[in-house]
Amino acid sequence: MTADSLLRVSELNLILLGPPGSGKGTQGERLQQDFRLPYYATGDILRAAVRDGTPLGGTAQEFMDRGDLVPDEVIIGVIGERVQSPEAADGFILDGFPRTVGQAEALGIEMDGLERSITAALLIDVDDGEVVRRLGGRRTCVKNGHIFHIEFDPPKNEDVCDVCGARLIVRDDDKPEVIRHRLDTYHDKTKPLVSYYEEQGLLKRVDGMLEPDEVGNRIRALLATLRLEEEL
């Protein structure tokens, strides 16, 4: 089944879960291209707000720089607006939201209100050592957030984005001491969502330790299986 035919069957409302550096953004970009669905990455939204100097950015910056989560009440409304928007009527991909049980409950209420439901929460599973290796070598496009890695996915020209030619940077929160804190925050606040979605029968695990293409293939296979089950 192709991505096109998958999309035509019914709407796809996906959540990407996983520790920092597990590859949510990398796979999110691919899913967005495959399914042509709006892709809402809360980290990207917040970084853009910081860059643009908006009130949201002003509130978020200190939390992000420390590797802490921004408060639930700040981020819930941001995603609520997008999920309700006409462009998300056929589905959406959420990367980095929800990140606490409170956010997941708010999303559930939002979906009930729209008489829609989450299709799956895809957990991209990687261990802590791999997170540190990946984030230490990540380079991010300053303009559009395209992602590279100096070892695993190097850009053709050092410090220049292959896709749009913008400058590549090391994110402020990819410094070693902040990476450690982000991982602790993940284990403390976000990992409980694994059992939360497991109990709802929505959790799908993907081995994130594999090559990016293989991770992408497994996600596609998983979504195709889900669709077949839905049709039976």
Query: Does 75 help bind ligand AP5 (rule: CB under 6 A)?
Result: yes
Query: Does 220 help bind ligand AP5 (rule: CB under 6 A)?
Result: no
Q: How far is the CB of 232 from ligand AP5 (least distance, A)?
A: 31
171 assigned to active site: yes
Region from 4-12, 38-46, 108-116, 191-199 binding ligand AP5, contact rule CB under 6 A:
38-46
The 3 state secondary structure assigned to the chain is CCHHHHHHHCCEEEEEECCCCCCHHHHHHHHHHHHCCCEEEHHHHHHHHHHHCCHHHHHHHHHHHHCCCCCHHHHHHHHHHHHHCHHHCCEEEEECCCCCHHHHHHHHHHHHHCCCCCCEEEEEECCHHHHHHHHHCEEEECCCCCEEECCCECCCCCCECCCCCCEEECCHHHCHHHHHHHHHHHHHHHCHHHHHHHHCCCEEEEECCCCHHHHHHHHHHHHHHHHHHHHC
Query: Does 18 help bind ligand AP5 (rule: CB under 6 A)?
Result: yes
Query: What is the rounded distance in angstroms from the CA atom of residue 191 to the CA atom of residue 124?
Result: 12
Kindly state the tokens that stand for 158: 């050092």
Region from 30-38, 80-88, 148-156, 217-225 binding ligand AP5, contact rule CB under 6 A:
148-156
Tell which one of 3, 14, 96, 120 touches ligand AP5 (CB under 6 A). 96
Query: What is the rounded distance in angstroms from the CA atom of residue 115 to the CA atom of residue 58?
Result: 34
Site for ligand AP5 in 168-187 (CB under 6 A): 173, 182
Which residue lies nearer to ligand AP5 by CB, 7 or 173? Answer: 173
Region from 107-115, 155-163, 206-214, 217-225 binding ligand AP5, contact rule CB under 6 A:
206-214
Q: What are phi and psi of 54, to 5 degrees?
A: -80, 165
Which residue lies nearer to ligand AP5 by CB, 1 or 53? Answer: 53
Which residue lies nearer to ligand AP5 by CB, 22 or 119? Answer: 22
Count residues binding ligand AP5 (CB under 6 A).
36
Query: Does 91 help bind ligand AP5 (rule: CB under 6 A)?
Result: no
Kindly state the tokens that stand for 88: 């998300």
Query: Does 204 help bind ligand AP5 (rule: CB under 6 A)?
Result: no
Which are the catalytic amino acids? 24, 99, 138, 171, 182
Residues engaged in binding ligand AP5 (CB under 6 A): 18, 20-26, 42-43, 46, 63-64, 67-70, 75, 96-97, 99, 103, 134, 138, 147-149, 152-153, 173, 182, 208, 210-212, 215
